[in-house]
Amino acid sequence: MASNVSLTRYLVEQQRVNGLIPAQLRLLLEVVARSCKSISQAVNKGALGGVLGTAESENVQGEIQKKLDIIANEVLIEANEWGGNLAAMASEEMEGIYVVPNRYPQGEYLLLFDPLDGSSNIDVNVSIGTIFSVLRKPEGSQVSEQDFLQQGAKQVAAGYCVYGPQTTLVLTVGNGVAMFTLDREQGSFVLTQENVQVPPDTQEFAINMSNMRHWDAPIKRYVDECLAGKEGPRGKDFNMRWIASMVADVHRILTRGGIFMYPWDKREPTKPGKLRLMYEANPMGWLIEQAGGAATNGKERILDIQPTQLHQRVSVILGSKNEVERVSSYHA
């Protein structure tokens, strides 16, 4: 159901009524939302806007960049650098941090983002998104990469925008999870769900099954038990989904429950996983926890992991609480 509460009003209320966010953070989140609107426009134009296909470059992770990876990154940088709310930004698509140029005032916050999540889905017209995380800059003079290396539990805001059949912005400032649908006629995000809750139990799991032979024993055991269905130890049938856009898989879980896993596997045993801690696992982990779910790497709560590198990877298991706890218990 649509409300008459815009994102702007919701944020003002979080600032005024709940005293949760300072004005500078509110303004920063408005700018992030505006960036997502621009990215949504570009995504929607698709081939008409010449935004599909591959760019001739690689990012720091050694992945071929898509044109939209670069466009979304530029939109976020350009929109956020001049407002005076930020000290620096970090992105999946940039090796080092981006310090706000000194022609602009420096703010108190740090913004991290995955500008375009689900890049393999861009050209095939399947849901993609933008993920973001906001940290407070520690006291001190010159901002550095070290300032970003804070546990996920220190986030002051996190969210994502999913560009699917609808464009939906999902946000937490530590007071539960709220969803806002983009009203294209009004040009604004409208609150369409508050107090989002992930059901503690589920019969739906999400994992890339093609990697099964590379998994570790606990993950293999969990999935085997799901596949055994009614006749197996779980005594119920399970359904499976894998969109290959973390935003879209997490959005489904926030909407109807489920468990999402991108675990460490033996393909590249020295890598802790595929997904990135700072701008994928942390913001998604906090959203899921704020909705009553859980997020772990199997051994430790995602939000408690002390980062040592900006682009560090992590094993991710998140979603419905009882299922996530079960997977953790198989790791014990």
Check binding of 120 to ligand AHG (CB under 6 A). yes
- Partner touching 245 among ligand AHG, Mn ion, none, CB below 5 to 8 Å by kind: ligand AHG
Owner of token pair 């980062």: 307
The answer to whether residues 306 and 299 touch, using CB atoms and an 8 Å cutoff, is no
The answer to whether residues 291 and 176 touch, using CB atoms and an 8 Å cutoff, is yes
DSSP code for 6: B
- Partner touching 244 among ligand AHG, Mn ion, none, CB below 5 to 8 Å by kind: ligand AHG
Q: Out of 73, 90, 100, 114, which residue is the one contacting Mn ion (CB under 5 A)? A: 114
Min dist CB 215 to ligand AHG, Å, is 13
CA distance 123 to 215: 29
The answer to whether residues 21 and 15 touch, using CB atoms and an 8 Å cutoff, is yes
Min dist CB 152 to Mn ion, Å, is 16
Interface with ligand AHG in residues 223-282 (CB under 6 A) = 244-246, 262, 274
Check binding of 118 to ligand AHG (CB under 6 A). yes
CA distance 125 to 119: 11
Check binding of 204 to Mn ion (CB under 5 A). no
Q: Out of 31, 79, 92, 160, which residue is the one contacting Mn ion (CB under 5 A)? A: 92
The answer to whether residues 111 and 117 touch, using CB atoms and an 8 Å cutoff, is no
Looking at 3-11, 33-41, 92-100, 233-241, which segment touches Mn ion (CB under 5 A)? 92-100
The continuous run of DSSP H or E covering 160 comes out as strand 157-163
Check binding of 119 to ligand AHG (CB under 6 A). yes
The answer to whether residues 182 and 166 touch, using CB atoms and an 8 Å cutoff, is yes
Check binding of 94 to ligand AHG (CB under 6 A). no
Min dist CB 103 to Mn ion, Å, is 29
Provide the pairing of β-strand 204-206 with 239-240: parallel
- The residues of the shown chain that bind ligand AHG, judged by CB under 6 A, are 92, 114, 117-120, 208, 244-246, 262, 274
